[in-house]
Structure 1
Amino acid sequence: MADFLYLASQSPRRRQLLEQIGVRAELLLPNADGDVAEDAEAIEAVLPGESPEAYVQRVTGLKLDAAVARHARRALAAAPILCSDTTVALDGRIFGKPEDAADAARMLAVLAGREHQVLTAVAVQAAGRRWAALSVSTVRFAAMTPAQIDAYVASGEPLGKAGAYGIQGRVAAHVEHLAGSYSGIMGLPLYETAQLLRAAGFVV
């Protein structure tokens, strides 16, 4: 078994989280020179009537499928491939990455003063086998004034993040309570990830 894994994620936080538990990750990202174009937006589209749980697990599986194909095309050395996806949900409604600052402000206005779920799915493939897990955490924001929301959006932090926030950033000043996996809310639940890697024969 290799002493590293391939991480199919653009998120620097996921790589840092893996380092936290002593796992070395090599990035396995799409659209390198001469690579086959991959439609990430199509993968992340929500299907009609799809639950947040089904959505995040399906998207993670599709991203892992794409990463496994990418690995084969590039004829890379064998090692486990890890993929993860995070979504935010309130009353069964999925809050993905905001399209722009106005969309981020709209999401935060809905989440403010409410309790919502953060769902992170993680999947590992090694030697033709696949292992998967789902982490569900709960976060409650305090009420936020329009000025507070605007100030947070102006920081640029909400863009590119599910639910328009990063738990490890400035929004922490507005988090009243959380229950579950802090690393899962960041984007990679370390307990579940370590379990999957061990199941795949990787030493953690």
Structure 2
Amino acid sequence: MEVVLASASPARLAVLRAAGVEPTVSVSRVDEDAVLAALGPRVGHEEAVVALARAKAEDVATSVPGPAVVIGCDSMLSIGGELVGKPHTVDVARERWRAMAGCDGRLLTGHCVLLVEDRAVIASAAGTGTTTLRFASPSTAELEAYLASGEPLEVAGAFTLDGLGGWFIENVDGAPSSVIGISLPLTRALLRELGVDIAALWAGPRSGSARADYPSNY
């Protein structure tokens, strides 16, 4: 069964590859701002990220012949009662970090998994991965260097865990893969709801092969 990732995120792709899945990447054309606007100002934070993930997955599913599993995800940061996404500019990212420094925030990652056959969705499952993070307080020089790198401008919450931003994350309570962009435990649970065994999607040698090359710390 083909696995289709409805995301342009190289981090999500890397997580799936490292976990044994080699997906086809198909980037959705969804207008995220339009989806959020249609939900209205009183929508719950978890509902918002799931709606975004579902919109992305459904948009891509129309072009997938199947049989396939389509995975859509979207992450946003909930902090101080506000739900924020990608800052896009240095000024916005700087203000985000001034508010985040020394505080806790919740990164919410909406997931939607669709089972597709003959370009039709025959089953779906969705949920939210929630991870609480403790942000450090970078010095002015550190923050300006981070902003100048460009990394925080196009990522949810203006930070990463698996890049330069990892220097400024003091604690993670939840699935680390969810912070990177896709929760492996939640995705596995959603696949099971659809009757799909994650082991059946693993690429490469299966059990019974002569030998597997594992990292030296195994």
1:80 partner amino acid: V
Name the SS of the counterpart of 2:20 in structure 1.
coil
Given that residues 28 and 56 in structure 2 are in contact (C-alpha distance below 8 angstroms), is that contact kept between their aligned partners in structure 1? no
2:3 to 1, 5, 29: 5
2:141 to 138, 144, 147: 147
Distance 2:114 2:105 in 1: 30
Give 2:34's aligned residue.
42
Given that residues 6 and 25 in structure 2 are in contact (C-alpha distance below 8 angstroms), is that contact kept between their aligned partners in structure 1? yes
Distance 2:100 2:44 in 1: 18
Give 1:130's aligned residue.
124
Given that residues 152 and 159 in structure 2 are in contact (C-alpha distance below 8 angstroms), is that contact kept between their aligned partners in structure 1? yes
TM-score by length of 2: 0.81
Name the SS of the counterpart of 2:128 in structure 1.
strand
Distance 1:141 1:83 in 2: 27
Give 1:60's aligned residue.
53
Name the SS of the counterpart of 1:159 in structure 2.
helix
Give 2:192's aligned residue.
198
Q: Percent same amino acid at aligned positions?
A: 29
Give 1:98's aligned residue.
87
- Between Structure 1 and Structure 2, how many residues are aligned? 192
Name the SS of the counterpart of 1:80 in structure 2.
strand
Report the RMSD for the aligned CA atoms in angstroms. Answer: 1.8
Given that residues 97 and 161 in structure 1 are in contact (C-alpha distance below 8 angstroms), is that contact kept between their aligned partners in structure 2? yes
Q: Which structure 1 residue ranges, 5 or more long, are not aligned?
A: 32-37
Are positions 1:116 and 2:108 aligned together?
A: no
Please identify the structure whose Cα radius of gyration is greater.
2
Given that residues 114 and 140 in structure 1 are in contact (C-alpha distance below 8 angstroms), is that contact kept between their aligned partners in structure 2? yes
Deviation track 1:119-160 (CA, whole Å, cap 9, x = no partner) reads 111111104110112111110112223222111111111021
- Give how far 1:98 is off: 0.7
1:65 partner amino acid: E
Q: Which structure 2 residue ranges, 5 or more long, are not aligned?
A: 117-121, 199-218
Give 2:208's aligned residue.
none
Q: For residues 123 and 148 of structure 1, do their structure 2 counterparts lie closer, same or farther at Cα, with a shift above 3 Å needed?
A: same
1:28 partner amino acid: S
Give 1:169's aligned residue.
163
Given that residues 28 and 57 in structure 2 are in contact (C-alpha distance below 8 angstroms), is that contact kept between their aligned partners in structure 1? no
Give 2:179's aligned residue.
185
Once the two structures are overlaid, the 10-residue window that deviates more, 50-59 or 116-125, is 50-59
- Give how far 1:40 is off: 4.1
2:124 partner amino acid: R
